[in-house]
Structure 1
Amino acid sequence: MMEKTLKIEMFGGFQVTYGDEPVITKESRNSKVLMLFQYLLCNRNRMVPQDELIHVLLSDEECESPVGTLKNLVYRLRKLLQSCGVERECIGYQRGAYGFTGDMPLVIDQEVFAGIVGEIAEGGMDAGDTFEKCLQAVEIYQTGFLPKAMGEPWVMGFAVHLQEQYCDCFRKAYRIAAQTGKYDRLAPKLGEAVAIYPYEEDLTLMYIKCLYEMNRVKEALEAYEAATARLFDDLGIGPSENMKEMFGHISGSRKEANLSIDEVRSEIRETEYENGAFYCNLEVFESLYRFVVRHMERSGQSVFLMLCTITDLSGTKPASGEKTKKIMEDVQKSIKASLRRGDAYTRYSPSQFLVMLMEIKQENCNIVADRLRYNFYKASKRNNEMRFVCKSISAADMDNIMDGDESDRRW
């Protein structure tokens, strides 16, 4: 009769099965008993002193008898495992220390992951095998190490180390993909990784580059837009120089030539009619503005830049977070709804939008600003807690700043 295997998953959630019998499911509520089991598993190569376990498990609690409480947790863990047929002796005790000592067949996904990472680090495999090993490792990782227990310091220590190994697998795989063209195998995994760690710039850059190399330029640009929006809204920062440089590369070239002017026109036109001003990212806006200024030299048309800034009532820049994100969404909706199709705007900073007003007179800039503020304050009651400041300047005369008589007025 084949001996049952104890299978333990620590990535994407904590789950334990013994043969076909579930012992602990990912839906199980995190508890001190489970944390004890997790800690013993992560330190399976040694007996853990009871003082260490008391510090890890009970430091946030006031216990009259910490040793007694620990013994009770060990007892409950043994009973849990025993109820599913796992031998009681798998949690051993020796000279004031506990350890997971079971000798039954055992598979722990964290150890499998570590083994694959070790094989990759040793080298000796050809590029194809290394690539496959990297994909195998990131597949095991799922959504990270013990996500329900990430608030525990000891879990964080393990998680940071494993996350770096996870990212390093992608770096190695990307270098191989760049040589072999296996971008189609890597891109889906990178997309999942960016969803887990949206602020890990290396992962985002590799993902966008993969899409670009696969000639999925539109998706690459959309991924860039999503990444910069997250940085503005969640962290209050703009894209790095590396991100901007990559955007310039993917937006300034095409992977394939197209000799049909009709097809080119069809590809670059707007796919559907949209009312309101035209939104573009800052890099595109800068190029568009420079072109318009050149065109003004011949056409003589009037163009103004308007900087729309959000502050609290004391004039302080709002802190990044969900509330500010919602407020800036209202600003964007107000700009789009209030301006003409021939106007353009962009996100200039976490708390600012920059607008280019075409064919407008100086005295009408205040009218536009009033309309923007009206629509902004109308959108939500929470917006009444903020100041919406609009300042305009002529593109033809960058030395004369026009604040307007009531540019700082709250409605």
Structure 2
Amino acid sequence: MAAAADAVAAPAARLHALDAVRASALLLGIVLHATLSFIPGVELMPHLWPIADTQQSPVMSLVMYAIHVFRMPVFFLVAGFFAQQLLARQGVGGFCRNRAQRILGPLVVGWVLCFIAIVAVVTWAVARRHGGVLPDPLPPFMQETKPNFLHLWFLYVLLWLYGLTLLARGLWRRVDADGARLDRLLRRVLATPADALLLAAPVALALFLTPDWIVILGVPTPGYTLIPPLGPLFVYGYVFGIGWALGRQRGLLDVLARRWAWYGVLGALGGLVALFSARTHPGIVPITDLVPKAAYAVAYGIGLVASTLAFIGLGLRFFSKANAAVRYLADASYWIYIAHLPLVAALQTAVMLLPWHWAVKYIGINVVATALLVASYQLAVRRTWVGLWLNGKRVTA
């Protein structure tokens, strides 16, 4: 019975659309992180981002906010889907070996190399800001000793979610041996016109219960402690679980493909209401008033869930067929994301004192970083052991 439960959704064909969606979520990391040096007042918030450009714009704050609403939830939902598929194919032992190779290994090696590079770039940035020499004493943020998983925190959180999911899977079987109840629950939720609202309720509650929640930053980044904070761990674990449940019933993906436009409208409305609410609590300051906090949590939860479903549904609707260019970017996206942050930070540092318009700098950073990262993938990763390590198979064409 246990084996049958895991085999419910054994895949019959590759889902090219979800490959494209996952790649898009990773590649949007470049677009998002490139905004940070141009956010007004970022020089006063070095813990948010240590590089501040002399040319800044509120547009960059809006771009950062909009992408942050859905990007990581999309990634974790798709990760949950593919994790269920992997377990169905390879069993617990194969699943753990695969995740150790594809997630744990890149986390350890990637973090060490990126940390060294980021320290060098930030040191350069601080020196540039102070006329070419480091100040004495160093800024407080350069003396921090607490954990910092950088942009690779999502891999660390994934390891937690894999372990927690395997534990929950074992416990759930005691009350639902073949998973039929879970499957039926998801079918019923997606059968209602208010499915996104129902699915958003746990996210809203988690955000409302998160202490010291800074409204404008959305879901807190759980990358600064060895034990992830409960609030963001629940939110990302919850959307991971939705993806896992969808993996058991691939036919339900058709619902997302059909409703992507409706989800998009609802997600945009939720995000806009949340943004408007956040304007009543400007700056990087935790919200303490319970009523506005509840209103913001509800709006942001709806925006997060609906825009996540919309993004995935959009991919399912328009990118379901195999496409060589999309497949190439899907293969390259993991490497590009791991390697991108030091390069983006270096480019920001190189242009931060130039009197160019912020839009010229921002577009240039995105174009140059993407071109260099794609070139590095083609020349140093695609047909090497690194590509085999990251993507699980050697590319021959």
- Same fold, TM exceeding 0.5? no
Q: For CA contacts below 8 A with separation 6 or more, give which structure has more relative contact order.
A: 2
Greater helix percent: which structure? 2
Flag the structure with higher strand content. 1
TM-score normalized by the length of structure 2: 0.24
Q: Greater CA radius of gyration, 1 or 2?
A: 1
User: Please, what TM-score do these two structures have when normalized by structure 1?
Assistant: 0.23
